[in-house]
Homo-oligomer: A and B are copies of this chain.
Amino acid sequence: MALKLWDLAGAEDDRRFSPYCWRAKLALAHKGLAAETIPWRFTEQDAIAFSGQDKVPVLIDGDKEIHDSWAIACHLEDEYPVNPLFGSPQARSLSFGFKIWVEATLPGPINRAIMPDLFAALHDRDKAYFRASREKRFGRTLEEVGAEPEKAVQELRGALLPVRKQLVEEPFVCGAHPGFADYILFGAFQWARAVSPRRLLEPDDPVFAWRERLLDLYDGLARKARGYPVWA
């Protein structure tokens, strides 16, 4: 049964930078599932119109269509119980809360830390759409968003305090083994790494060591992906 995933790409077909698509790809790898990934750009909304909405990731699993990275994780967990992403209903709910925390906390400083690089890494045909939609969302120009990247990096490091304290005690957000909450957090870093050489973490940060562990998972799936070294 063929799995297909529509996956946001930049200028090159293999520059895959969506944090949400990375969640889905790591969840698939976690389950030992191989999926064909289809490079997709923001302006190719016709290509995923069958999903009834306009965002990736979109997954086709046999005769089912699933969109939204959280829905994809839940689908995989329910259809393929081996190698649990959550392992219990409570862990699923706590992961959902963690997802909300990540989404409320990290995109702001990461956008501000990488914005000129992110824009430069887009496919040319996406640039006008991206600029218009993001400048509307942020209420300022992309150049203004990205004007103080080092300040944004410091803010990001401060915001990571709770996970940093946990990762001193345990190798993964999910404990002894990685789970979907790890992929939720990691997606944010892999988004940045795909488009920007900026150093978000210092090597002595426990979050840095955790990210190394995530980069190594599944035969280096994330590390092999086109992007910048995380320790330049």
Contact = CB atoms under 8 A, between A and B. Distances in A.
Contacts of A174: 90, 93-94
A105 B104 CA distance: 14
Contacts of A176: 89, 93
B91 A90 contact: yes
Q: How many copies does the complex hold?
A: 2
A181 interface: yes
Nearest to A164: B100
A213 to B, nearest CB: 14
Interface residues of A, number: 33
Interface stretch (A108-116, A120-128, A129-137, A165-173): A165-173
A94 B96 contact: no
A103 to B, nearest CB: 9
Interface string A171-208: 01111110101000000000000000000000000000
A173 B93 CA distance: 7
A206 to B, nearest CB: 12
A75 interface: no
A2 to B, nearest CB: 30
A62 interface: no
A165 B101 CA distance: 9
Contacts of A165: 100, 104
A175 B87 contact: no
A4 interface: no
Given A89-B87, A90-B88, A161-B104, A97 B96 contact: no
B93 A172 contact: yes
A116 B181 CA distance: 40
Residue of A87, A97, A104 with most chain B CB atoms under a 10 A cut-off = A97
Interface of A: 84, 86-98, 100-101, 104-105, 161-163, 165-166, 169-170, 172-177, 179, 181
Given A90-B91, A94-B175, A97-B181, 10 more contacts: A88-B88, A91-B91, A92-B175, A93-B175, A94-B94, A94-B181, A96-B166, A97-B98, A104-B162, A105-B162
